[in-house]
Structure 1
Amino acid sequence: MAFDLSKHASDRSQQRAIPPDVVEVLWEYGSEMRRRGGDVLFFDKSARQRLCRDLGSQALRRCAKALACYAVVDDNGRIITVAHRRFRFKRP
């Protein structure tokens, strides 16, 4: 599945040292929640379980620190920005 990064998202991922591979995995496996006019993709427990099922627990443990990030997606399916998670996303 292909994803479209905005210029801002591309710049931010580079500045924040979030590799494109992590953004791709986030796009494919991340959980989605509507927040402030956009959809937020992030790794919660169920997303990590799906990832573990496909990649294996060893691979998940090696990249666990890199999975502490999120992406904001607009209504057209374009990734607006990416960042490291510094807080929990609370479900409405």
Structure 2
Amino acid sequence: MTQMTRHAQVRTQQRSIPPMLIDILLQFGESEPAGDGATKVFFNKTSRKQFKAYAGPLARILEEYLDVYVVVNKADQVITTAHRTERIRRH
């Protein structure tokens, strides 16, 4: 199980994000810097394909949850979780 701050635990529960999905996201997700040494991890097209190949039929059940992201600090703790409401812009 992934280490999560108290804030992340509360947000995960409030936003109905399954904890298993956070582990899957950290395993397959794409990451980019989020400021102050933190990293944002999310599913992009490639990571979605990798997850679907890995999960098989389970992927269909979890597909509605794939528009989430997590922010991880330098100590590899999840700081917060959220649903993506818009496209992640790359600089």
**TM-score (norm: length of structure 1):** 0.89
The one-letter code matched in structure 1 to 2:65 is A
Identity %: 31
Letter of the aligned partner of 2:3 in structure 1?
Answer: D
**Which SS does the other structure have where 1:90 is aligned?**
coil
Alignment of 1:44 with 2:44, yes or no, is: yes
- Please tell me the residue identity of whatever aligns with 1:81: T
Deviation at 1:61, TM superposition (A): 2.7
- Give runs of ≥4 in structure 1 deviating > 6 Å: none
The AA in structure 2 aligned to 1:43 is F
What per-residue deviation string (whole Å, max 9, x for no partner) do you get for residues 15-57 of structure 1?
111111111111111111112221001011011011012112x
The aligned amino acid for 1:74 is: N
Residue of structure 1 in register with 2:14 after alignment: 15
Letter in 1 for 2:41: L
Spell out the pairing of 1:56-71 with structure 2 (5 A cutoff): 56=56, 58-71=57-70
Q: CA RMSD in A?
A: 1.2
Residue 60 of structure 1: how far off its partner (Å):
2.2
The answer for unaligned runs of 5 or more in structure 2 is none
Runs of 5+ in structure 1 lacking a partner? none
* TM-score after normalising by structure 2: 0.90
Answer yes or no: is 1:90 the counterpart of 2:83: no
